[in-house]
Chains A and B, each alone.
Chain A
């Protein structure tokens, strides 16, 4: 194994389909029009020396090292800024060029510290490489000329340092921040020798607008910006391509290693989701894998008030299996169940649902998608016939109009957010529908054309009023609808949408969005060219979540924005493998591939393969499991990699449910909140310690590759397998590839997927089968999967969660950039420096009327419960609306959220909770009691001291 060195072509690939032929050093080369000579040369195998050029960035032409000579032209132009032309004859290495390049390098080196042997980039420095490439042997100007400014090292960022004395002012970092990340946090301050890279107004990195995505560090050709891990450990010696375990973007990384130690995670340019970019989580926040809180020994206890007792794997597994079997013997087959994890691999998820269906003998299996994107599955399956997004991420490059609804991509899906911002800077128009003024509404070089700042809970009213404008102003793409959709259903829907009561003017009283804004947005969406919708949990986590998804699907069909690049309906999935966990049959009513358990032919296929008779009735969803636990008919569960106590709504109800069970088995990395109520703790493995696949939001199946042995001894699928065997259901997989082979054999959409093919292709977007052997980047191209697209009438039904005198404000919850979900991973990294606690965002008006100042403790209460946290006075919220995150167990924000949920799927209504906010002195009594209980619950019994016999 060795380091994977990606070829740097110097400038980006041209998208032109017109080809141009030229000669470079006498060799004929054919490349797309618009390609730089530098790139053409590299494609022909000739590397022209360069310093300021890299193929992640547009050409800049400042270093003057990549000079070339062109026959018939004067001078020595820079090859990075010179485009190819038909018949051009280029020379990359002449006596003149050699002389010039040496001269340039002499100037660079004359003011660069020559501490190469002790420099952290020794062996990984492009300046060093180029000195070698141009044959630099002496510096005529001496080595003690005016040195580059050396104000000291900025080590404020927890993950990288900035050492100005090593800067060659190539501006790659500045351009990466602008072009790739789109934050514009960096600039070059000063002139000549005084030029330095400046975060914001020459502030330390941590005090600047920098979002720590790492693009600048990656772009830096020297050690000026360098990972602290490289400084501490040294340069890596081998690398493995794998997939990030955070968020649904699914970035591909090179895990760069020294032995079994991760040195750094570098985004992989060939990664089709991220195209070489990353965010602060995937790039830097992987240290949790070796955090001291990690539990690596199995533990059991009879009662949740007992301390944990460390035991062998055999004892823990047998203890769990015996408990489960005893419960079933006493309370019936349906008295236990399981939860699959969207943080685990497809293979692991598949195995958990197989364990429940085949070994437990029921369908009581659910997944965290229940509380995030289950309405996406229901809504898109109903309208289009597929429970998934329609596009690949590259599609954004062809969008003319982007409609973002209930999503905050720059925080929740930052790498895709950067790709979106890039397209917006190129001129695409932007419509945002969100109660908050998210960053996309107005940030450097990006401004929404329309921000529909709707009241929480009124998505359906808003979308139907958009549809009203499309229908009544003659903006329907009738050709598309007639050809691709059910015409009768369309007419019903159009008549409904056209009713005056659904007009923007009539709906304004519900949504709070001025009618003219809605009309403008609808006209832009329908007539602005390729229009794409991206949505998140602000759509799904409502009592009408599924209806909202169908309203979105209606709008896209009515305007013909489906079935080609640049358009579509795109759910931005929360966790890394939400799509995959749904695909793998994690829902209680369907087998892998979204096929209902009552369909005899499907069930018989699984029965034949699995050798057990399977239940034809749907099982319990997570909230129903808790209800049934309280009711006494559900007594045990196996939870792999989810912290339902912290992530699910109405914490007190969750506690009541979990406390009522006789055996809760938690398999996780840490003693998470749910583990406080567990009887068996099975230590899990991180994504660095296992093989398998994740499927991201664009249906892309991507390999996860093991780079170190599991610290707990087993990959998660092996633990499930042990439990199945102990339950009396034999499983004997040797490798996750065998599980994928079984998935492919049982699931038509995955029929063509194998680990071998994934190794060859890098990734595959399902469906992948005989009809689509290389996968399917864009869906519904020639027709909808269900046949004719189905228009659904989307009547607005206001939520029953209403503000009033007792609870006059509406709370909506979400996440921020640096933390991930319940924070179990990111809180155990330096990411907490950005977000050490959950804060309550409150509008100045609401704060002032309550006597609340920025930073004050406030009590947040609802009919479900109350918690206390600090206030952040902010105009990002409209008056009457407050916002917080759920990353910290100290806050337990979900103690406030309610049991209201989506009508079709029971996805909780996290986005609308009527609350009151009042000044407070600190944590509530409940928080203190919970904290005390939690501390006691995590006690681990000390192993008895063994005295050696004399």
Chain B
């Protein structure tokens, strides 16, 4: 995993956050997490989860929470499988 690629993913997460944090009836973190779940390829999700595990530098506010939700979703899916 290259640093530039992870930087790009972090940038994308925060950019998605810049939309969802202004939506009045939607929890921003939930919105970001669902968006990523819906549109990101699994390897991209894996990379961002690994980045979170490594400290999650650059993930701000709801973006960080979103990736935590994504981590929980992933773990739940694994345990359900």
Contacts and interface: CB of A to CB of B under 8 A. Distances in A.
A633 interface: yes
Contact of A795 (B8, B22, B25): B22
Contacts of B43: 334, 620, 628, 633
A627 B8 CA distance: 9
Contacts of B22: 496, 793, 795
Interface string A566-596: 0000000000000000000000110000001
Interface centre among B2, B15, B38 (most CB of A within 10 A): B15
Interface residues of B, number: 21
B74 to A, nearest CB: 11
A52 B18 CA distance: 61
Interface centre among A543, A620, A627 (most CB of B within 10 A): A627
Contacts of A364: 41
A285 to B, nearest CB: 37
B42 A617 contact: yes
Contacts of A904: 16, 19, 35, 39
A137 B8 CA distance: 81
B80 to A, nearest CB: 13
Contacts of B25: 488-489, 492
B1 interface: yes
Interface in B38-75: 38-44
A46 interface: no
A710 interface: no
A547 B40 CA distance: 19
B41 A588 contact: yes
Contacts of A588: 41
Given A492-B24, A547-B19, A631-B2, A899 B8 contact: yes
A618 B8 contact: no
Interface centre among B15, B18, B40, B41 (most CB of A within 10 A): B41
Interface residues of A, number: 33
B18 A903 contact: yes
Nearest to B35: A904
A792 interface: yes
Given A364-B41, A617-B41, A630-B2, A793 B15 contact: no
Contacts of B39: 589, 618, 621, 904-905
B23 interface: yes
A797 interface: yes
A766 B69 CA distance: 38
Interface in A613-657: 617-621, 624, 627-628, 630-631, 633
Interface string B2-44: 1001001000100110110011110000000001001111111
Nearest to A587: B39
A621 B8 CA distance: 14
A906 B41 CA distance: 13
Contacts of B19: 546-547, 795, 797, 903-904
Contacts, number: 64
Contact of B15 (A598, A618, A631, A903): A903
A684 B48 CA distance: 39
Contacts of A633: 43
B25 to A, nearest CB: 7
Nearest to B9: A627
A596 B41 contact: no
B12 A903 contact: yes
A334 B41 contact: yes
A633 B44 CA distance: 11
Nearest to B22: A795
B41 A624 contact: yes
Contacts of A621: 39, 41
Nearest to A615: B42
B18 A618 contact: no
B38 A596 contact: yes
A364 B1 CA distance: 19
Given A589-B38, A618-B38, A624 B24 contact: no
Contacts of A543: 15
Contacts of B1: 631
A457 to B, nearest CB: 14
Nearest to A550: B19
A844 B50 CA distance: 52
Nearest to B14: A903
Contacts of A631: 1-2, 5
Contacts of A905: 39
B79 to A, nearest CB: 17
A617 B22 CA distance: 28
Nearest to A495: B24
Interface centre among A492, A903, A905 (most CB of B within 10 A): A903
Nearest to A628: B43
Given A492-B24, A492-B25, A631-B1, A620 B15 contact: no
A887 B43 CA distance: 34
Contacts of A795: 18-19, 22
Nearest to A905: B39
Nearest to B8: A627
A450 B40 CA distance: 41
10 contacts: A617-B42, A618-B39, A620-B41, A620-B44, A633-B43, A793-B24, A795-B19, A903-B16, A903-B19, A904-B16
9 nearest interchain CB pairs? A795-B22, A903-B15, A492-B24, A620-B41, A797-B18, A617-B42, A627-B5, A793-B22, A631-B5
Interface of B: 1-2, 5, 8, 12, 15-16, 18-19, 22-25, 35, 38-44
Given A543-B15, A617-B41, A627-B8, 19 more contacts: A364-B41, A617-B42, A618-B38, A618-B39, A621-B39, A624-B40, A624-B44, A627-B5, A630-B5, A631-B2, A793-B22, A793-B23, A793-B24, A795-B19, A795-B22, A797-B19, A903-B15, A903-B18, A904-B19
